[in-house]
Amino acid sequence: MIDAISVIGSIASILGAIWAWKEAKKSKTAAQLAQRIKDQLIGHRKTSELAELQALLGTAQKKFTKYGASNPKALAGIDHHADSESLLSFMHTLKSYNEYFEGEHENVADKFYDDIEKTLQLFRKSSSINNISEHGNSILNKLANFSPILKREFTSKKESVVTGA
């Protein structure tokens, strides 16, 4: 009788261990799925933030295209302070998303922000058409130089969302 109880207890113990192992495997799979979903959501958020930044950059570039003209006299009557608002919007958003641009030695977004901010101050203080044209063209060139950096980061985030990396 005691042997039968021992055998039944052993069988129950083995069955319990098998059941616990299967449940643990299900939990592990569920935890991995939850982590993949979380990573994907974070990737989508980062992608949408960079898409917002890319749209703001495009708007600023369109506003400053006129300053790339070779004839500053064509700028007579423009409101360069109003044009700088789109650039300020881009700059402030860039500053808030600067973690996407951290490099090994420096943050590219912070460096760009500091550089273009100085030029923007000169642009806003300018009163002569020649100075407005010169500083506006400089801003346009700086925006054009930053564009591939943003595009590379944006493409990288899009690809990581697609591949799940």
Contacting residues for 109 by C-beta, under 8 A, at least 6 apart: 94, 95, 97, 98, 100, 101
What's the pLDDT score for residue 63?
Answer: 93
Between 2-64 and 80-96, two packed helices, what is the crossing angle to 10 degrees?
Answer: 160
Q: Which of 137, 107, 93 is nearest to 119 (CA)?
A: 137
Distances (CA, A) of 103 to 66, 74, 109, 114, 157: 33, 40, 10, 16, 16
Would you say 64 and 123 are in contact if contact means Cβ atoms under 8 Å apart?
no
CATH (residue range 36-163)? 1.20.120
Residue 45: both structure tokens together? 């958020």
Domain residue extents for the chain: 36-163
What's the pLDDT score for residue 136?
Answer: 93
Q: How confident is the model at residue 162 (pLDDT cuts 50, 70, 90)?
A: low
The per-residue pLDDT of the chain, averaged, comes to 85
**Using alpha carbons only, how large is the chain's radius of gyration in Å?**
29
Model confidence, pTM:
0.74
> pLDDT per residue over 3-43, tens digit each?
777 777 778 778 777 887 888 788 788 778 888 888 788 77
